[in-house]
Structure 1
Amino acid sequence: MFSFCTDPATLETARWFACYLTTGKHLTAYWSFVTVLVLLAVTAPTALLFGFGGAVAARSGVAPVRWFGKGYIAIVRGVPDIAFFLFFVIALDQGFEWLRHQALCPEWTEPIRQGNDFVVCTEAKLPLGNAPQWVHELYGFALAVLTFAIVFGAFAANVLFGALRAVPKGQIEAAQSYGMSERQAFWRVLVPQMWVYALPGLSNLWMVLIKATPLLFLLGVEDIVYWARELGGIKTSRFTDYPHGDWRLWYFLALLVFYLGFTKLSEVVLGRLTVRLNRGQATLGDAA
């Protein structure tokens, strides 16, 4: 990046570090922080949407819908996260390709399952083999977001299901006595008051989601933990111009500071949101 970086062997300490920390690999690593933040920004509302749908389904009066909602919550919460992360990426990828295969290659006669191999026509591949690299990366990121949303949506569904049941029944009865229909009472009374009871659990879930972002590496996304390990290790062929010892301790220390700072910021924002939601509510939080 700097003009004096042409010969790293002649640089003193300050300039050496300036050149070392602005190599192409480091710039990619810095962008991985943005990747993590974008993942959280997209996954959180998506998981909340999955969770709300699961919670509403779990309290449905229609038995099959209720069984589906409760089954979704129980199954995902009962299996280790890492197993679901590894399973869903493969299942979603093959599921999308199977659907495209059925639509684009109806004349295909060979079996899709050939032993341990999953074989579809070239047109059905996701992404296509001739697609640019950014398409492959975007597709992998989209799969990661969807997987995170499905897994954490089940935990959010459990929180929201409990919050819906925590709203005093008298609130609904009062709404109906004023002539509201069941649907109106749900959206205008039950859902707005639900968030007061749901926020503590959702706050916990947000913190867990932040700590789960290193699982991106398992989903094929080069995240900040991946780059900390790669850049901090002893380099031989990839970084011959900037040889150094095992600096993983310092790279992981930087990640520790990043995560602690981000969780502290989250606590401040969530605390203010809690105070705002408690306004006008007869809760212990409001009394405090």
Structure 2
Amino acid sequence: MFDSCADPKTLEGLSWFLCFLTSGKQLLFYRSFFIVLILLAVTAPVALAFGFGGAMAARSRIAPLSWFGKGYSAMTRGVPDIVFFLFVPIAMDQALEMIRHKIKCPEWTDPIFRGSDFVVCQQAKFPLSTSPQIYHDLYAFTLAVIAFAVVFGAFAASVIYGAMQAVPRAQMETAEAYGMTDRQAFWRIMVPQMWTYALPGLSNLWMILIKATPLLFILGIQDVVYWARENGGYKTEHFDYPHPDWRVYYFLVLLVFYLLMTKGSEVIIGRLTRNLSHGQATLAGERMRRAGR
């Protein structure tokens, strides 16, 4: 990064260490923290949307829609997460390439599935092999977001469905007595109160989502775990910056990072819980009423 770091073999002491911390691979390690934060920022609302849609489907009066909502939640929660993390990206990737293959290579007569191999024409590859690396990275990241959203959306659907059921029926009957339609009562009465009951479960899901981000490594994305192992591993004289096995220190950095993330989340969730509980007929709301808040 600096001109003085051009030849690492001429460096020693603090100069060597500063150049090591600003080397190309170290910068990629720093960037990987932003990848984790972006994943959380994107996945959380998408998973929440999946969960809300699944909960609405589960409580639908249309039987097939209700079956779909309850089945989505039950099936995803009943299968190990790692199965979906591996299945969703592969299934979506192959489905997309198969569709492109049918459109772009109609003259192709050879089978696509050849034993354990999946073979399509070069024009059907997505992204194309000639595409810039940024497109491959964005594509892999998008598949990862969808995989995370599918899994955590199912858990969110169960939480939100239970929260909707927890809203007192008398509230909905009162809304109907005042002439509100089912749609108006749902959005004006149930949804605002539902979040109070759903927040404890959703906050737990958020914590689990934070701890699940290292699974990006399994999906082929170079995340913090990948670069901690890559940069911290033993380096011989064949490398620009040879050093002993420093992985324990790298993983200590990850430990501190995730502890700070979870602690900050606890503070924010605590404040959000107090704001949502104010004036509500819940235990938290009753405690606030008695405290005169």
TM-score (norm 2): 0.94
How large is the RMSD of aligned CA atoms in angstroms?
A: 1.3
Q: Which moved more, 1:45-54 or 1:60-69?
A: 60-69
**What's 2:171 paired with?**
171
Cα deviation, 1:193-221, whole Å, max 9, x if unaligned, reads: 10000000000000000000000011110
**What's 1:39 paired with?**
39
**What's 2:279 paired with?**
280
Residues in 2 aligned to 1:67 and 1:230: alpha-carbon distance in whole angstroms:
46
Judge conservation of contact 2:47–2:156 (CA < 8 Å) in 1.
yes
**What's 1:256 paired with?**
255
5+ unaligned residues in a row in structure 2: which ranges? 288-293
Cα deviation, 1:64-86, whole Å, max 9, x if unaligned, reads: 11111111111110111111111
Judge conservation of contact 2:51–2:157 (CA < 8 Å) in 1.
yes
Indicate the SS of the match to 1:57. Answer: helix
**What's 2:135 paired with?**
135
Indicate the SS of the match to 2:218. Answer: helix
**What's 2:83 paired with?**
83
Q: How does 1:179-218 map to 2 (within 5 A)?
A: 179-218=179-218
Matched letter for residue 268 of structure 1: V
Cα deviation, 1:232-275, whole Å, max 9, x if unaligned, reads: 110237x6221111100000000000000111111111111111
Residues in 2 aligned to 1:104 and 1:153: alpha-carbon distance in whole angstroms:
34
Cα deviation, 1:1-23, whole Å, max 9, x if unaligned, reads: 23322333343321111000110
Indicate the SS of the match to 1:129. Answer: coil
Matched letter for residue 51 of structure 1: G
Matched letter for residue 266 of structure 1: S
Judge conservation of contact 2:280–2:286 (CA < 8 Å) in 1.
no
Judge conservation of contact 2:43–2:148 (CA < 8 Å) in 1.
yes
Aligned pairs, how many? Answer: 287
Matched letter for residue 229 of structure 1: R
Sequence identity, in percent? 66
Q: Which moved more, 1:6-15 or 1:80-89?
A: 6-15
Judge conservation of contact 2:72–2:154 (CA < 8 Å) in 1.
yes
Residues in 2 aligned to 1:10 and 1:144: alpha-carbon distance in whole angstroms:
42
Matched letter for residue 42 of structure 1: V
In 2 relative to 1, CA 103–188 (structure 1 residues): closer, same or farther, beyond 3 Å? farther
5+ unaligned residues in a row in structure 1: which ranges? none
Residues in 1 aligned to 2:105 and 2:239: alpha-carbon distance in whole angstroms:
49
Q: Which moved more, 1:205-214 or 1:263-272?
A: 263-272
TM-score (norm 1): 0.96
Displacement after TM superposition at 1:282 (Å):
1.7
**What's 2:267 paired with?**
268
**What's 1:25 paired with?**
25
Displacement after TM superposition at 1:101 (Å):
2.4
Q: How does 1:117-136 map to 2 (within 5 A)?
A: 117-136=117-136
Cα deviation, 1:8-43, whole Å, max 9, x if unaligned, reads: 334332111100011000101111100000000000
Residues in 2 aligned to 1:9 and 1:117: alpha-carbon distance in whole angstroms:
46
Indicate the SS of the match to 1:228. Answer: helix
Runs of 4+ in 1 over 4 A off after TM superposition: none
Indicate the SS of the match to 1:219. Answer: coil
**What's 1:227 paired with?**
227
**What's 1:113 paired with?**
113
Judge conservation of contact 2:236–2:243 (CA < 8 Å) in 1.
no
